[in-house]
Structure 1
Amino acid sequence: MAIVDVTDQSFKNEVEGAGTVLVDFWAPWCGPCKMIAPVLEELDQEMGDQVKIAKINVDDNPDTTSRFGVMSIPTLIVFKDGQPVDKLVGFQPKDALKSVLSRHI
């Protein structure tokens, strides 16, 4: 499964209507966000059949960003059946992300 770009308008359909979803709140000017992008690509290749990965640009989508209280980026929120169940702030290594996701699959 490919990583999906979501917006304020598509968030409900893409995230809240799915099973386990990891949402990356990011911005193009954010250094740690650029560092985590290849980690998310690897995760998608390894766990794509179990977890959907979505990215939302905080600059372009302020409604969703504020709705979930995102104050720093990157922020990664795990959603299970439309509800936020875990939140990580800052760069995370792949093993840490896999560990968190495995609790919610």
Structure 2
Amino acid sequence: MQSSFKDIINVNKPVLIDFYADWCGPCQTMMPILTEVKESLGEHINIIKINVDKNKELASKFQVRGVPTFMVFKNGASVWRGSGVVSKNDLIKLLKSYV
């Protein structure tokens, strides 16, 4: 997955990576929020969900200790990181700053 992960994040628009787990309550809370963020920003951003239980090597590489953990990449570089539930408006404001 790592070579394709590099391809995914090495684009000239913000890519929000959501490290999540199926058993995680806050991750479930974030699902409709992320859908609304994508609907609001459309093609200006990418949102990629990565299940930490199925991608342990990638989660370890980025030192994901809890879920949900979010990272924003632009042009292959990490520009922001956060964890826990994040509001739709905060995510939109954050991502717009990198568009």
TM-score, normalised by the number of residues in structure 1: 0.86
8 Å Cα contact 1:19/1:82 also seen in 2: no
Q: Residues of 2 paired with 1:67 and 1:16: CA distance? A: 17
- 2:66 is the counterpart of 1:72: yes
Partner of 2:43: 49
CA, structure 1 residues 56+47, in 2 after alignment: closer, same or farther (shift >3 Å)? same
Identity of aligned residues (%): 38
* AA of the residue aligned to 1:65: A
Deviation at 1:56, TM superposition (A): 0.2
- 2:82 is the counterpart of 1:88: yes
8 Å Cα contact 1:27/1:33 also seen in 2: yes
CA, structure 1 residues 58+8, in 2 after alignment: closer, same or farther (shift >3 Å)? farther
Deviation at 1:60, TM superposition (A): 0.5
Partner of 1:26: 20
Q: Residues of 1 paired with 2:63 and 2:77: CA distance? A: 14
Instruction: Report the number of matched residues.
Output: 99
Q: Residues of 2 paired with 1:51 and 1:101: CA distance? A: 8
Higher helix share: 2
Alpha-carbon RMSD across the aligned residues, in angstroms, is: 1.4
Residue segments in structure 1 that go unaligned for 5+ positions in a row: 1-6
Q: Secondary structure at the match of 2:7?
A: helix
